[in-house]
Amino acid sequence: MKQKPTLKVIAKELDVSVSTVSKALRDSKEIGEETKNKVKAFAKLYNYRPNNIALSLKNKKTKTLGVIIPEIVHHFFTTVISGIEHYANDKGYNVIVGLSNESFKKEVINLEMLANGSIDGFIISVAKETLSVKDYHHLSETIDQGIPIVMFDRVIDEIDCDKVIVDDVKTSEKAVRKLISSGCKQIGIISTKDYVSVGRLRTEGYKNALESKGIEVDTNLILKIDDKFNSDDNLEFLEQQIHDYFEKNTVDGLFAVNELYAITAMKVARQKGLSIPNDLQIIGFTDGVLSKHAYPPLTTISQHGFEMGEEAAKLLIERLENTNDDEEPFKTTIVKTDIIDRETTKL
Partner DNA sequence: CACGTCAGCTACAACGTTTTCGTGTTGATA
Partner DNA sequence: TATCAACACGAAAACGTTGTAGCTGACGTG
Residues that bind DNA (CB under 7 A): 6-8, 15-20, 22-23, 25-26, 30-36, 48-51, 54-55, 57-58, 60
Answer left, alpha or beta for residue 27, where phi above 0 means left and psi between -120 and 50 means alpha.
Answer: left
Select from a second copy, DNA, none the partner in contact with residue 30, using the beta carbon and a kind-dependent cut-off of 5 to 8 Å: DNA
Ramachandran region, residue 10 (left: φ > 0; alpha: ψ -120 to 50; beta: rest): alpha
What residues are paired with 335 via a beta bridge? 166
DSSP class of 4: P
Q: 75 or 243: whose CB is closer to a second copy?
A: 75
Q: How far apart are CA 59 and CA 346, in angstroms?
A: 58
Burial of 216 (0-12, 13-18, 19+ CB in 10 A): exposed
Task: Give CA–CA dist 198/163, Å, rounded.
Answer: 14
Q: Which is nearer to a second copy, 111 or 221 (CB)?
A: 111
Among 29, 33, 34, 53, binds a second copy (CB under 8 A): 53
Interacting span for a second copy (CB under 8 A) from 8-16, 21-29, 91-99, 196-204: 91-99
Dihedral in degrees, nearest 10, Cα atoms 242, 244, 249, 253: 10
C-beta of 269: minimal distance to a second copy in Å?
Answer: 12
Tell me, residue by residue from 110 to 149, as one string, x for binding to a second copy by CB under 8 A and - for no binding: x-xxxxxxx----------------------x--xxx---
Start-to-end Cα distance in the chain: 66
21 or 221, CB closer to DNA?
A: 21
**Residue 72 engages a second copy in binding (rule: CB under 8 A):** yes
Q: Which residues bind a second copy (CB under 8 A)?
A: 1-4, 47, 49-54, 56-57, 62, 64, 72-75, 78-79, 81-82, 85, 89, 94-99, 110, 112-118, 141, 144-146, 235, 260, 263-264, 267, 270, 289-290, 292-295
